């Protein structure tokens, strides 16, 4: 396999920056192309590529469709991006398929909807608050007045022990992109690694089907400084001919959804559903039902390997499939969040084929929690908190949207009837129930509500470093 072009690949693709626990995301608008491009030329020198690891600070950058357009990218090149990216997350059809309705509807979003669009996402990761704040101040000052406008600052911080706000360990089940060298580390940490071709996450490279992940290209004449690589004959794809220059190479699509978590509502619901006959709380049963919703205990231990009780020794364990140990969901409910988001070998017709098909829909998750930790999960303190859900993929339709629509919000997923993912499913498509498979009788938990609400989001293009320089060089 060819070496990764690490100098060209932004760092966030290869690293989740766990060594940089503080993060802030700047949402920006391009008001005037020329000063924005001058600013971008400077940013291209500051962006962290994946060839090196900076122990203190890393900056990455991504653009929406309107961002590329406002920077002056020509219509031919814009048309060569994938349709979901062109249309955007808030387009009515896409909002419908993602379950962004009622409270989740784009009309109520804080950012990313047609009435409050964003063009640029600047991601800053720091080793501590002081480093982060200094970088934030610097980057804000560097925004050219009248050129780039600050829309919103989204703060993020890792929760203690990398637990998300409901209290569960997060960031365990992840695919590995070939060539990154992450396989060994993943094997050590989780005892399992599914290595997928580069083209599952980066445009312009062979994907899981052995074809080049479609990558937007520009005419050679439009790249007079030869900043972008030429597309060779054997790499010509759906929307790019040999000889054109590859704008997408080493870039990725970054899905960003700001998902607010109603922690007290979640735990109060579980508390009520598990209280004793005289109405008293039953913390053990409450935690067990919460784990059934997720498919892992708070420690991260998978239910399929430890069905009766939490086992923190298995906190990072990822070496399991569902079919041999739990085909009927008696250990890990079929509708649990992790089983829906990655059903592994459980969807038939036979386990090996099912595993292969499931691996065509994998996401490289890069999310960060935001908002203060909740001291008592059962008491609403009024603060907003949640997850800045972020993932990288080369095909938004086949990867992120498929997971969200066909697995997470599918009321008849794997033989179920009338229910959706208890955390992030589209409630309108289900009957607000969750089934815990059991023998002799299953248990149906009723009356689920929205524990997670979409507050904003966009589809971004995370370019390679050369593409970034190209965008900065545009003249129009
Ligand atoms: C606030 C919203 C969310 C919360 C609290 C949440 C929480 C979790 C937790 C606790 C895990 C288990 C730990 C792990 O394997 O990393 C997990 C796994 C996962 N989640 Fe989410 N999640 C949320 C939203 C989403 C969304 C929107 C998607 C995609 C549509 C998603 C996709 C996944 C995937 C792919 C896994 C790994 C499953 C595996 O490989 O076994 N999550 N999530």
Task: Indicate if the pLDDT at residue 307 is higher than 90.
Answer: yes
Task: Indicate if the pLDDT at residue 118 is higher than 70.
Answer: yes
- Name the DSSP letter for residue 460: E
Centroid of ligand 1 to alpha carbon of 361 (angstroms): 14
Determine the pLDDT at residue 237. Answer: 66
Give the whole-angstrom CA distance, residue 437 versus residue 417.
12
Give the whole-angstrom CA distance, residue 147 versus residue 456.
24
Centroid of ligand 1 to alpha carbon of 199 (angstroms): 22
Between the two ends of the chain, the Cα-to-Cα distance in Å is 39
pLDDT in tens, 424-439: 999 999 999 999 999 9
Centroid of ligand 1 to alpha carbon of 11 (angstroms): 22
The SS3 assignment for 27 reads strand
Give the binding-site residues of ligand 1, using a 6 Å CB cut-off.
Answer: 164, 166, 168-173, 259, 261, 294, 296, 337-338, 341-342, 363, 386-387, 389, 403-404, 408, 423-424, 452
Give the whole-angstrom CA distance, residue 332 versus residue 9.
37
Task: Indicate if the pLDDT at residue 45 is higher than 70.
Answer: yes
Mutate to test the pocket of ligand 1, among 305, 337, 403 (most ligand atoms within 8 A of CB): 337
Cβ-Cβ contacts under 8 Å for 273 (sequence gap 6 or more): 286, 289, 445
- For ligand 1, atom 31, which residue shows the shortest CA distance? 341
Mean pLDDT of the 381-398 span: 97
pLDDT in tens, 62-91: 999 999 999 999 999 999 999 999 999 999
Centroid of ligand 1 to alpha carbon of 338 (angstroms): 6
Q: To the nearest whole percent, how much of the chain has pLDDT over 70?
A: 98
Give the whole-angstrom CA distance, residue 3 versus residue 295.
37
* Higher-scoring residue by pLDDT: 235, 417: 417
Residue with tokens 């990218």: 73
Task: Indicate if the pLDDT at residue 162 is higher than 90.
Answer: no
Band (pLDDT 50/70/90 cuts) for residue 140 is very high
Task: Indicate if the pLDDT at residue 124 is higher than 90.
Answer: yes
The mean of the pLDDT values for the chain is: 96
Centroid of ligand 1 to alpha carbon of 296 (angstroms): 10
Determine the pLDDT at residue 349. Answer: 84
Determine the pLDDT at residue 397. Answer: 98
Centroid of ligand 1 to alpha carbon of 170 (angstroms): 7
Instruction: Say if residue 307 is exposed, middle or buried (CB neighbours under 10 Å; 0-12, 13-18, 19+).
Output: middle
Centroid of ligand 1 to alpha carbon of 194 (angstroms): 17
pLDDT in tens, 373-383: 999 999 999 99
Give Cα separations from 147 to 65, 144, 346 (angstroms).
18, 5, 51
pLDDT in tens, 268-297: 999 999 999 999 999 999 999 999 999 999
Angle, in degrees to the nearest 10, between helices 33-46 and 465-473: 150
Determine the pLDDT at residue 238. Answer: 62
pLDDT in tens, 86-109: 999 999 999 999 999 999 999 999
Give Cα separations from 292 to 88, 201, 346, 411 (angstroms).
33, 30, 17, 17
Give the whole-angstrom CA distance, residue 28 versus residue 32.
12
Mean pLDDT of the 244-273 span: 97
Q: What is the pTM of this model?
A: 0.97
Mean pLDDT of the 26-52 span: 96
Task: Indicate if the pLDDT at residue 242 is higher than 90.
Answer: no
On whether the CB atoms of residues 129 and 275 are closer than 8 A, the answer is no
Determine the pLDDT at residue 81. Answer: 97
- Name the DSSP letter for residue 266: H
Mutate to test the pocket of ligand 1, among 166, 189, 338, 397 (most ligand atoms within 8 A of CB): 338
> What are the residues facing 370 on neighbouring strands?
386
Band (pLDDT 50/70/90 cuts) for residue 232 is confident
Band (pLDDT 50/70/90 cuts) for residue 239 is low
- Name the DSSP letter for residue 212: B
Band (pLDDT 50/70/90 cuts) for residue 240 is confident
Determine the pLDDT at residue 7. Answer: 96
Give the whole-angstrom CA distance, residue 202 versus residue 80.
16
Cis peptide before 285 (omega within 30 of 0): no
CB atoms within 10 A of CB 458: 28
Mean pLDDT of the 251-266 span: 98
Q: Of 125, 126, 121, which Cα lies nearest the Cα of 150?
A: 121
Give the whole-angstrom CA distance, residue 144 versus residue 404.
38
């Amino acid at each position: 396999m060819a070496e990764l072009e690490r100098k060209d690949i932004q760092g966030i693709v290869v690293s989740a920056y766990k060594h940089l626990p503080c993060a802030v995301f700047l949402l920006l608008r391009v008001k005037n192309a020329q000063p924005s491009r001058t600013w971008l030329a400077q940013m291209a020198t500051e962006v962290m590529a994946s060839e090196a690891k900076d122990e203190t600070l890393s900056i990455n950058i991504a653009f929406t469709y309107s961002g590329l357009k406002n920077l002056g990218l020509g219509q031919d090149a814009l048309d060569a991006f994938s349709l979901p990216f062109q249309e955007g997350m808030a387009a009515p059809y896409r909002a419908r398929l993602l379950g962004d309705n009622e409270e989740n509807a784009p009309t109520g979003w804080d950012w990313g909807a047609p009435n409050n669009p964003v063009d640029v996402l600047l991601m800053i990761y720091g080793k501590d608050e002081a480093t982060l704040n200094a970088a934030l101040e610097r980057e804000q000052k560097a925004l050219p007045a009248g050129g780039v406008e600050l829309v919103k600052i989204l703060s993020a911080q890792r929760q203690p022990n990398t637990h998300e706000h409901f209290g569960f360990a997060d960031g365990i089940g992840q695919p590995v992109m070939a060539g990154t060298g992450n396989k060994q580390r993943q094997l050590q940490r989780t005892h399992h690694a599914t290595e997928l071709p580069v083209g599952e996450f980066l445009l312009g490279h062979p994907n899981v089907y052995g074809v080049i992940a479609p990558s937007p290209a520009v005419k050679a004449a439009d790249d007079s400084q030869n900043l972008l690589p030429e597309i060779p004959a054997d790499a010509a794809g759906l929307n790019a001919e040999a000889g054109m220059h590859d704008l997408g190479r080493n870039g990725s699509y970054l899905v960003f959804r700001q998902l607010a978590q109603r922690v007290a509502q979640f735990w109060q619901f579980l508390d009520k559903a598990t209280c004793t006959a005289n109405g008293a709380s039953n913390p053990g049963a409450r935690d067990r039902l919460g784990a059934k919703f997720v498919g892992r205990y708070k420690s991260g231990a998978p239910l399929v390997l430890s069905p009766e009780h939490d086992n923190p020794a298995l906190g990072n364990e990822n070496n399991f499939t569902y079919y041999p140990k739990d085909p009927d969901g008696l250990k890990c409910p079929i509708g649990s969040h992790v089983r829906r988001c990655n059903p592994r070998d459980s969807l038939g017709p036979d386990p090996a084929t099912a595993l292969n098909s499931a691996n065509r829909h994998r996401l490289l998750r890069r999310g960060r929690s935001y908002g203060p930790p909740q001291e008592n999960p059962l008491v609403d303190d009024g603060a907003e908190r949640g997850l800045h859900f972020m993932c990288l993929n080369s095909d938004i339709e086949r990867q992120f949207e498929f997971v969200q629509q066909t697995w997470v919000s599918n009321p008849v997923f794997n033989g179920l009837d009338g229910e959706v993912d208890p955390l992030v499913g589209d409630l309108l498509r289900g009957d607000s129930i969750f089934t815990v498979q059991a023998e002799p009788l299953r248990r149906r938990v009723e009356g689920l509500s929205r524990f997670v609400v979409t507050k904003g989001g966009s589809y971004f293009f995370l370019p390679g470093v050369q593409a970034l320089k190209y965008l900065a060089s545009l003249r129009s």
